[in-house]
Amino acid sequence: MKNPTIKKVLLLGSGALKIGQAGEFDYSGSQALKALKEEGIETVLINPNIATVQTSEGVADKIYFLPVTPFFVERVIERERPQGILLSFGGQTALNCGVELYKAGTLEQYNVQVLGTPVQAIMDTEDRDLFIKKLDEIGVKTIKSQPAESIEAARRAAKELGYPLIVRAAYALGGLGSGFVDNDQELEEVCEKAFSFSPQVLVEKSLKGWKEIEYEVVRDKYDNCITVCNMENFDPLGIHTGESIVVAPSQTLSNKDYYFLRELSIQIVRHIGIVGECNVQYAYDPDAMDYRVIEVNARLSRSSALASKATGYPLAFVAAKLGLGYGLFDLKNSVTKTTPAFFEPALDYIVCKIPRWDLSKFQGVSHKIGSSMKSVGEVMAVGRTFEEAIQKGLRMIGQGAHGFVGNKELVVPDVDKALLEPTDDRIFIISKAMRAGYTVDRIHELTKIDRWFLDKLAGIVTTYQEMGKVDRIEDLDEDLLRLAKQQGFSDFQIQRAICKDGSNPYDNMDKVRARRKELGILPVVKQIDTLAAEFPAQTNYLYLTYNGTVNDIDYEKDGRSVIVLGSGAYRIGSSVEFDWCSVTCLNTLRERVRPPVFR
């Protein structure tokens, strides 16, 4: 049951949007405020970002447009006298601020209770030295490393560990200040940058090339624990997860690998003492079934937002309720309406997260990507196959409008070098390499990307080349056209594959569509139901697919459906403010238009 002494709660937002900390924390904070309001608890929000849903009228009872720093938060606590505070819904900014308030004795002075994960557990995950010692207590392997609080200490650690190494900054956001180093000069350059963001760095052995796997875990105060979702990076370790294509659920792990890491995640989260939601990140070598824990985020994160939307499990909402003292057994999944919160989702679809960069807007910036995040936005694409999902996603980011193949022609003087040194165009360089005759094995050797992913991409190229052998759209074989649509090809891509006379493919898209309709090749609408159709469930998360035969909802000509167009992936100049616009519009429509009927 919830704590009856909690009448007023202070929630710390994430402040200004920045790389690594964007709309996902508006989402998590809004969900938390919604959960608190449902319990009749008065809510106070500190967040100076005016372009958010959570700072809109009616979401929080009181809003302070102030910096999320200890000085201003203490002034608000002094004035409002809340009984509880939530730290894990405002990203690294809120977490760091909460830790400082705890260390300064401010929370104790005003008798403010930290709801959810205890501050000591937060410090155990954020301080690299404490984190390693904590996991050593239960024999869980971490990357061999040494903490350092000066460049001299970092040099000594490097000498003892031996190159290659990675330098990570503690209490930092989006891999800020981190980097791979191969010699003393590079070490000093990265450390100098890292120490400008953090008082401590961790010098650790590089495991570049291993798989990067992540588990989203929920735990209540009664020690009940579930894994909501696991995710796999398309790119191997060495590229920040915010810079990588991410696939959920994992596709290349065996059942044994999956459950091994799942059990390990639950063991770690229980030992640390998380209450609410967190994620555990691994470096994993499936050939040797060897692993290293990279980090545990004792808060909602960008990955949490992805996992929540990918599964239909309301992670932030549930985490807020757990912070109030509920158990998982007390709660229903507020999205499906039927399943309890301790039901682990089962997926009969695949999700791809694709990052978006705006590096071309800056002069002199390096287009190389690595352990420090540069992407400004991302999209989530849903399909029944990896090929369908990744092609959808590449079109949605606005930088790969024509999918994996048939896209912009890159000038790549040295393909081997381009594959070895990842850039924001990496996925399109892989496409170019495949069309130039590079084998899956050769690309794997250069990139360390799993052969399973590369085989699927090679299949897309093969289909594109097969369509290129057709002279007229009217001659396009039904099986080939159906395969192309099931692999995520747009009508534009199909036309471009066939169009060899230099005419504009946009002029002939209607011919492809007409051919599809003639052959009965049409998409269906599917629900993300979290249960792989094992049980009835209602969700409002829908996707289109050509890998199906029946619509999951009645929507055609119902006379009451309204489409609202959002702004797509975040980019410089188009961000969370348009989420606010869409949400405000939808809330108004909801008052006037009845929702569609779910089967």
Q: Is the pLDDT of residue 200 over 80?
A: yes
Q: What is the pLDDT confidence band of residue 235, given thresholds at 50, 70 and 90?
A: very high
Section 508-525 average pLDDT: 89
Residue with the bigger pLDDT between 166 and 419: it is 419
Beta bridge partners of 275: none
> Residue 360 and residue 363: Cα distance in Å, rounded?
7
- Residue range 144-205, CATH number: 3.30.1490.20
The average pLDDT across 4-18 equals 90
Q: Which two tokens stand for residue 341?
A: 């919160």
In whole numbers, what is the pLDDT of the chain averaged over residues? Answer: 87
Backbone angles phi, psi at 282, to 5 degrees: -120, 150
pLDDT of residue 599: 39
22 close to 51: Cβ distance less than 8 angstroms: no
Report domain extents, the chain: 8-115, 144-205, 353-521, 555-599
Average pLDDT over residues 424-451: 93
Higher pLDDT, 559 or 325: 325
Q: What is the mean predicted confidence (pLDDT) over 489-494?
A: 90
Q: Top-level CATH class of 8-115?
A: alpha beta
Segment 10-29 mean pLDDT:
88
Instruction: Please give the pLDDT value at position 401.
Output: 59
Report pLDDT digits (tens) over 149-180: 888 888 888 888 888 888 877 766 556 667 77
Q: Kindly report, residue by residue over 284-303, the tens digit of the pLDDT.
A: 998 888 999 988 988 888 88
Checking 556-564 for CB contacts under 8 A at 24+ apart, the result is 558/596, 558/597, 560/593, 560/594, 560/596, 561/596, 562/589, 562/593, 564/589
Percentage of the chain surpassing pLDDT 90?
47
Residues 237, 219 contacting (CB under 8 angstroms): no
| pTM confidence score | 0.88
In this prediction, residue 368 has a pLDDT band, given cuts at 50, 70 and 90, of: confident
Nearest 5°: CA angle at 483, between 479 and 488?
Answer: 155
Residue pointed to by tokens 């009451």: 560
At 266, the pLDDT band (50, 70, 90 cuts) reads very high
Model pLDDT for residues 105-128, shown as the tens digit of each residue: 999 999 999 999 999 999 998 887
- With bands split at pLDDT 50, 70 and 90, how would you rate the model's confidence at 408? low
Do the Cβ atoms of 529 and 539 come closer than 8 Å? yes
Higher-pLDDT residue of 508, 151 = 151
Q: Which residue has the tokens 């997926």?
A: 347
> 381 vs 111, 398, 404, CA distance in Å?
45, 13, 14
pLDDT of residue 463: 95
CA–CA distances in Å: residue 101 to residues 15, 18, 106, 240, 495: 17, 23, 5, 30, 60
Q: Binning pLDDT at 50, 70 and 90, where does residue 596 land? A: low
Give the pLDDT score at 194: 83
Quick one: pLDDT band at residue 594, thresholds 50, 70, 90?
low
Question: Per the structure block, which two tokens stand in for 520?
Answer: 């009965």
Instruction: For the chain, give the number of residues.
Output: 599
| Selection from 42, 39, 90 nearest residue 68 by Cα | 90
Q: What is the 3-state secondary structure (H, E, C) of 27-96?
A: HHHHHHHHHHHHCCCEEEEECCCCCCCCCCECCECEEECCCCCHHHHHHHHHHHCCCEEECCCCHHHHHH
Task: Give the model's pLDDT for residue 518.
Answer: 92
Number of Cβ within a 10 Å radius of residue 446: 18
When mean pLDDT is compared across 79-93, 262-276, 494-508, the lowest value belongs to: 494-508
Residue with tokens 């399943």: 339
Q: Which helix (H) or strand (E) holds 479?
A: helix 478-486
pLDDT at 173: 59
**Using CA atoms, how far apart are residues 16 and 67, in angstroms rounded to an integer?**
9
CA dihedral for 428, 206, 203, 136, sign (positive or negative): positive
pLDDT in the model for residue 532: 54
Phi, psi of 583 (to 5 degrees): -65, -45
What is the 8-class DSSP label of residue 183? S
353-521 folds as Carbamoyl Phosphate Synthetase; Chain A, domain 4 (1.10.1030)
